[in-house]
Amino acid sequence: MSIRAQLGADLEAALPERKFRVVPHLGAVDRLAKPLVQLEQGTVSPSPGASGLRNVGVRVHVVTHLDGITEAAEDAVDALVLEVLDALESLRYLIVGTATKEVWGDTHLSYVIETDTLTRKVQP
């Protein structure tokens, strides 16, 4: 199982039921009926001083379902990111970094949360 798939399953279990749509990949999302949490593996590097391990960086996109760059959308995404941060911080295998506000798809406010974890190097 990929780290994205594992993190996606763990977030689905940790976030309030039926409130978020969790998508463990960057594929296109046709419509936003509810807030979106989308996962992107962004970096992979050897772990210094830990043979057989790698650092994997996963970006967690938190997107409001409210269309437009409005005060209501900003209030919503500011609250949503706190819920997702709480869920991420409960996962002991992650180091949670900075959350940065962005515009997603030119129409929705979002945050991108940087996370890191260690994984074992797959042996051939």
**Global pTM value:** 0.91
Number of domains in the chain: 1
User: What's the pLDDT at 79?
Assistant: 97
CA distance 13 to 11: 5
Structure tokens belonging to residue 107: 């129409």
CATH no. for residue 75? 3.30.2000.10
The range of the structural domain enclosing residue 51 comes to 3-120
User: Greater confidence, 26 or 39?
Assistant: 39
Mean pLDDT of 119-123: 73
Cβ contacts of 57 within 8 Å, gap of 6 or more? 41, 42, 43, 44, 114, 115, 116
**Among 74, 1, 78, CA closest to 39:** 1
For the segment 4-36, what is each residue's pLDDT rounded down to a tens digit? Answer: 999 999 999 999 878 999 999 987 777 788 999
CA distance 69 to 95: 30
Report percent pLDDT > 90 for the chain. Answer: 70
**Reading across the β-sheet that carries 36-46, which strands appear in turn?**
21-23, 36-46, 53-63, 108-120, 95-104
How far apart, in Å, are the Cα atoms of 101 and each of 3, 77, 82, 104?
A: 24, 9, 12, 9
